[in-house]
Amino acid sequence: MSDSKKPIKPEIPRKAIYRLSIYMRCLTRLQGNGIETISSEALAKAAGVKSTQLRKDLTYFGQFGTRGLGYDVEQLQAMISNLLGTSSLQPVILVGVGNLGSALLTYRGFEQEGFEVIAAFDQIPEAARKRTRFKEIRPMADMDEIVQRAGVRMAILAVPNLVAQEVANQLVKAGIVGILNFAPIMLEVPEDVTVNNVNLAIELENLSYFIQT
Amino acid sequence: MSDSKKPIKPEIPRKAIYRLSIYMRCLTRLQGNGIETISSEALAKAAGVKSTQLRKDLTYFGQFGTRGLGYDVEQLQAMISNLLGTSSLQPVILVGVGNLGSALLTYRGFEQEGFEVIAAFDQIPEAARKRTRFKEIRPMADMDEIVQRAGVRMAILAVPNLVAQEVANQLVKAGIVGILNFAPIMLEVPEDVTVNNVNLAIELENLSYFIQT
DNA sequence: AAATGTGAAGTTGTTCACAGCT
DNA sequence: AGCTGTGAACAACTTCACATTT
């Protein structure tokens, strides 16, 4: 599970924001199939939610449909993409090129979704280079300069637990305001910084609970 | 975000189960530091939750503390591990050794948490072998046999969207009852199968929303 | 007629306040 | 005295029912 602790706009449920991403993927697929208009009923089904929820989610941000008709696929897609801030390519850095970090660098899936990993950082860049083909591996000391020069606002944190807080502090100091944290600890960050936690082991453990006979 | 749709015991909030995993990690760390007893207050702080929530979460499963004293670290750890079904090593398979799949195989972090990836499957095993050093890469056709022989109950699904549902069906048929799904689609599965969804792109997108100025 | 937008009702999850052990 | 366990109050989120628009 992932988990952020930033309700900037407290009126809007955090889960609603996650669902926007899902709606957007569905819309992109529909667009690819040449479908121009869709009802909340049909889109909700594709997204795996109730149609009332979809409509409620959208109205947090405005009115985008036409009664009696439905939603314009392209227009709604553009609107959501814009809301999420993914309508332009966003630079991201990755910190910690160990086991998981190098795995994430290998996975080029972020690029397809509007994020570009412009640099990776590791305490021992030479060792890190042996684990990946990714070229831009830098020592931690270069972080400030690169973040500032490229105007990076988001970071993927994949360092060992013991140093996670310390590195998070460094990230914040460099100007990062969004952290995707893979370390299984609660990071303490200033109010204006958002942390989303992802932990694959916890997801497996959670499954493990539910599949018990 | 992760997301399962299986409330076998509807009284217990799903989020409470996730939190159990977090408590367990904290307890393991405390145990390593030689701490024998801890109050709900202190453990809750380490886990990043309110103490009342921790106590409520635990009482869904029974009474484990001593009033006036707190909880026995080792005992509580063992209890939660047992509840989650992670007290013994659990075999897992991975399906789809593409970009993400091979990244996940590279990441050996599951092993450290009580899960062993005993085999990986791909439609084109020869091509998949070029992406990873993991040895046990099999054609999809071998799935049934391996799952049954090893008594595997959990699978990590990292195939392209277009075939995700189809492969999920095959997994279910083979006897898998827990799926960690990385494809950004809602899988349709029988009631007795649990799906947890993880989508890294969605997590980044969600961050992207919150860091907007 | 068809489908959206939305206040109100319902449900689920969290926190409080305090009773009850040790 | 200190800290857990828990019903009751509260808050957040979801669903319903229906008025409204095309």
CB contact under 8 A, A209 and B84: yes
Residues 6+ apart with CB under 8 A from A66: A72
Q: What pLDDT score does A3 carry?
A: 52
Measured in degrees and rounded to the nearest 5, phi and psi for residue B89 equal -60, 135
- A193: nearest CA partner in chain B: B211
Residue A209 has pLDDT above 90, yes or no: yes
Which amino acid is it at B127? A
Task: Kindly list the distances between the CA atom of residue A160 and the CA atoms of A73, A85, A98, A105, B158, in Å, as whole numbers in the listed order.
Answer: 43, 30, 9, 16, 25
Q: Is residue B4 part of a domain?
A: no
A30 touches chain B (CB under 8 A): no
d(CA B43, CA B39): 6
Same domain, A36 and A126: no
Preferred mutation among A3, A86, A204 to probe B, highest tally of B CBs within 10 A = A204
Q: What pLDDT score does A5 carry?
A: 46
Q: What pLDDT score does A7 carry?
A: 43
Q: What is the pLDDT of residues B66-100, one digit of tens each?
A: 999 999 999 999 999 999 999 999 999 999 999 88
Q: Is B160 helix (H, G, I), strand (E, B) or coil?
A: coil
| Inter-residue contact B83 to B59 (CB < 8 Å) | no
Q: Is residue A42 part of a domain?
A: yes
Tell me the pLDDT band of B5, cut-offs 50, 70 and 90. Answer: very low
Same domain, B95 and B164: yes
| Inter-residue contact B204 to A182 (CB < 8 Å) | no
Q: What is the DSSP string of A134-158?
A: -S-EEEGGGHHHHHHHHT--EEEE-
| Inter-residue contact B47 to B26 (CB < 8 Å) | yes
CB contact under 8 A, A110 and B184: no
Q: What pLDDT score does A1 carry?
A: 46
Same domain, B99 and B178: yes
Residue matched to tokens 């660098």: A105
Q: The domain that contains B26 carries what CATH number?
A: 1.10.10.10
A53 touches chain B (CB under 8 A): no
Tokens of B115: 């899960």
Residue B6 has pLDDT above 60, yes or no: no
Residue B4 has pLDDT above 70, yes or no: no
Same domain, A122 and A177: yes
A119 - beta bridge partners? Answer: A93
A6 touches chain B (CB under 8 A): yes
Q: What pLDDT score does A161 carry?
A: 87
Q: How many structural domains does chain A have?
A: 2
Residue B8 has pLDDT above 50, yes or no: no
Same domain, A95 and A65: no
Q: What is the pLDDT of residues A109-159, one digit of tens each?
A: 888 889 999 999 999 999 999 989 999 999 999 999 999 999 999 999 999
Same domain, A170 and A114: yes
d(CA B148, CA B158): 21
Q: Is residue B187 part of a domain?
A: yes
Q: Is the four-CA dihedral A140, A145, A148, A149 of positive or negative sign?
A: negative
| DSSP 8-class letter at B8 | S
User: For strand A178-181 and strand B90-95, is the pairing parallel, antiparallel, or unpaired?
Assistant: unpaired
| Inter-residue contact A42 to A48 (CB < 8 Å) | no
Percent of chain A with pLDDT over 70: 95
Same domain, A27 and A63: yes
Residue with the larger pLDDT of the pair B54 and A113? B54
| Inter-residue contact B157 to B186 (CB < 8 Å) | no
Decide which of B84, B116, B132 is a domain's last residue: B84
Q: Give me the mean pLDDT over the A49-67 stretch.
A: 97
Tell me the pLDDT band of A36, cut-offs 50, 70 and 90. Answer: very high
Q: Is residue A131 part of a domain?
A: yes
A117 touches chain B (CB under 8 A): no
Residue matched to tokens 């006897």: B175
Q: What pLDDT score does B213 carry?
A: 78
Same domain, A21 and A101: no
Q: The domain that contains B129 carries what CATH number?
A: 3.40.50.720
Q: Is B174 exposed, middle or buried (0-12, 13-18, 19+ CB in 10 A)?
A: middle
Q: What is the pLDDT of residues A154-184, one digit of tens each?
A: 999 999 989 999 999 999 999 999 999 998 8
Measured in degrees and rounded to the nearest 5, phi and psi for residue A171 equal -60, -45
Same domain, B67 and B96: no
Which of B2, B106, B112 lies at the smallest CB-CB distance from A203?
A: B2
Whole-number mean pLDDT of chain B?
Answer: 92
**pTM surpassing 0.85?**
yes
Nearest to B19 by CA among B63, B55, B54, B43: B54
Q: Is residue A6 part of a domain?
A: no
Q: What is the pLDDT of residues B184-203, one digit of tens each?
A: 888 999 989 999 999 999 99
Tell me the pLDDT band of A9, cut-offs 50, 70 and 90. Answer: low
Q: Count how many pairs of residues, chain A against chain B, have C-beta atoms within 8 Å.
A: 184
Which of B3, B18, B205 lies at the smallest CB-CB distance from A86?
A: B205
Decide which of B84, B111, B144 is a domain's last residue: B84
Q: What pLDDT score does A155 carry?
A: 98
Residues in reach of strand C, judged by a CB distance below 7 angstroms, are A 39-41, 51-52, 55-56, 58-59, 63-71; B 10, 13-16, 49-50, 52-53, 56, 66-69
Nearest to B160 by CA among A112, A80, A77: A112
| Inter-residue contact B169 to A202 (CB < 8 Å) | no
Q: Is residue B208 part of a domain?
A: no
- Residue B186, number of CB atoms within 10 A of its CB: 20
Q: Is residue A35 part of a domain?
A: yes
CB contact under 8 A, B106 and A103: yes
Residue B7 has pLDDT above 90, yes or no: no
Question: Containing domain of residue B176, as a range?
Answer: 90-202
Q: Give me the mean pLDDT over the A37-55 stretch.
A: 97
Percent helix / strand / coil, chain A, rounded to 5: 50, 15, 35
Q: How far is B34 from chain A (nearest CA, A)?
A: 17
Same domain, B77 and B95: no
Nearest to A37 by CA among A62, A9, A71, A64: A71
Decide which of B46, B69, B84 is a domain's last residue: B84
Same domain, A134 and A75: no
B 26-65, residues with C-beta < 7 Å of strand D = 39-41, 51-52, 55-56, 58-59, 63-65
Q: Is residue B210 part of a domain?
A: no
- Residue B10, number of CB atoms within 10 A of its CB: 7
Instruction: Kindly calculate the radius of gyration of chain A based on its CA atoms and give it in whole angstroms.
Output: 19
B110 touches chain A (CB under 8 A): yes
Tokens of A125: 């860049």
Same domain, A109 and A140: yes
